[in-house]
């Protein structure tokens, strides 16, 4: 399994995004969960809440640190993944299966997100 699937888009804040119908599904990348360590708590917005691109929409906590979650695109929260808030460790098990929220986008920010190759390059540059 690739750590960074090629059918996803990525942000510099280490979130991934994927189109699902008209909505955008959002999670954190393999790198994000690896840097965080064991995830023990995830706080998500309510369905119907408005999120803005690049702004915080929630919080993810590992045993040792608290990190904010940043929205790749702006819009309205269409769904949240209750399975992840109930089992935060699933983010470590498979960060791509453990999606966090689904956003009904209000703009076209999705098209400006990084593709897999660009994201992987940015990770290597940051090493």
Contact flag: residue 83 with other proteins (CB under 8 A): no
Helices (H), 1-127: 30-36, 82-86, 90-93, 116-126
Among 12, 40, 106, 123, binds other proteins (CB under 8 A): 40
Q: Which is nearer to other proteins, 95 or 105 (CB)?
A: 95
Among 20, 47, 59, 117, binds other proteins (CB under 8 A): 59
Q: Which is nearer to other proteins, 37 or 107 (CB)?
A: 37
Query: How distant, in Å, are the alpha carbons of 47, 102, 121 from that of 9?
Result: 23, 14, 13
Contact flag: residue 47 with other proteins (CB under 8 A): no
Evaluate whether 18 touches 71 at the Cβ level (below 8 Å).
no
Tell me how far, at minimum, the Cβ of 88 lies from other proteins, in Å.
Answer: 9
Residue 24 CA to residue 126 CA, distance in Å, equals 27
Please list every residue from 98 through 117 that binds other proteins, using CB under 8 A: none
User: What SS3 state is found at 120?
Assistant: helix
Tell me how far, at minimum, the Cβ of 114 lies from other proteins, in Å.
Answer: 25
Among 3, 63, 93, 115, binds other proteins (CB under 8 A): 63
Residue 25 CA to residue 17 CA, distance in Å, equals 5
Please tell me the total number of residues recorded for the chain in this structure.
127
Among 3, 38, 107, 112, binds other proteins (CB under 8 A): 38
């Amino acid at each position: 399994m690739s750590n960074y699937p090629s059918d996803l888009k990525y942000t510099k804040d280490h979130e991934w995004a994927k189109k699902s119908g008209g909505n955008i599904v959002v999670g954190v990348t393999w790198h994000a969960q690896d840097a965080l360590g064991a995830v023990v708590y995830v706080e998500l917005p309510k369905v119907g809440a408005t999120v803005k691109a690049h702004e915080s929409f929630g919080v993810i906590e590992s045993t040792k640190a608290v990190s904010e979650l940043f929205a790749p695109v702006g819009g309205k929260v269409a769904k949240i993944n209750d399975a992840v808030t109930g089992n935060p460790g699933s983010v470590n098990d498979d960060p791509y299966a453990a999606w966090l929220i689904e956003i009904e986008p209000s703009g076209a920010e999705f098209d400006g997100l990084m593709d897999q190759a660009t994201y992987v390059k940015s990770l290597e540059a940051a090493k």
